[in-house]
Amino acid sequence: MNWIKNLFIKNTISEKAEEMSKKFLIVGLGNIGAEYVNTRHNIGFKIVDYVASKQGVSFETAKLGAVAEFTIKGRKLILLKPNTYMNLSGKAVHYWMQKENIAKENILVITDDLNLAFGTIRIKGKGTDGGHNGLKNIQLILNTSEYPRFRFGISDEFKKGQQVDYVLGEWNETEKEKLPERFEVAKQIVESFALAGLNETMNSFNGK
């Protein structure tokens, strides 16, 4: 009878592994509060908001964040906007990874990047925090820097000593005109990550 028990255990493990491979956590980083809604630092929130709107789903308040879910071609995507403020984002990411049993390879963290020109896209499977407090905390809580991230360039067009005001400032008129097209590309990236995988998504979208 042991072989039957072992077969059952093996099948259960296989089913769980298959389930994990079809679930994805898409994390948009940002700060909560009306004063931050349209700031450069909140591009992560804006992108997942756009994805949710195009999928016809709404965010609901949940533990450590706002969450929206949808399914595309058999893949379940969970959109997360942590409500912990940027520098404690790792707490929310870790909680939802554990709750939904999602592997770190299947999370995609979306954040702003001062080191990239406005609208430039850079997707990587691992890397440093680059001085970004949100990524820094995620790395600390997850105890690894090996998780996929999607950086959206906000450029560094500010004078010395004005970085905080720039990052927490709103987009200029030229940037506002270009954002809708960038949001659509970002939506395609999120979908590609779940359907085609990280490597294919990097090859198709990096630098665009």
Tell me how far apart the alpha carbons of residues 80 and 69 are, in angstroms, rounded to a whole number: 9
Q: How confident is the model at residue 157 (pLDDT cuts 50, 70, 90)?
A: confident
Say how many C-beta atoms besides its own lie within 10 A of residue 6's C-beta.
10
Q: Is the pLDDT of residue 16 over 90?
A: no
Q: How confident is the model at residue 4 (pLDDT cuts 50, 70, 90)?
A: low
- The DSSP secondary-structure symbol of 27 reads E
Q: How confident is the model at residue 131 (pLDDT cuts 50, 70, 90)?
A: confident
Q: Which helix (H) or strand (E) holds 158?
A: none
Section 110-121 average pLDDT: 94
Tell me how far apart the alpha carbons of residues 166 and 147 are, in angstroms, rounded to a whole number: 28
- Which of the following is catalytic: 23, 41, 132, 187? 41
Domains and CATH numbers, the chain: 21-205 (3.40.50.1470)
Section 123-149 average pLDDT: 93
94 is catalytic: no
The amino acid at 43? I
| Tens-place pLDDT, residues 60-100 | 999 999 999 999 999 999 999 999 988 999 999 999 999 99
In 101-172, alpha helices (H): 133-142, 163-167
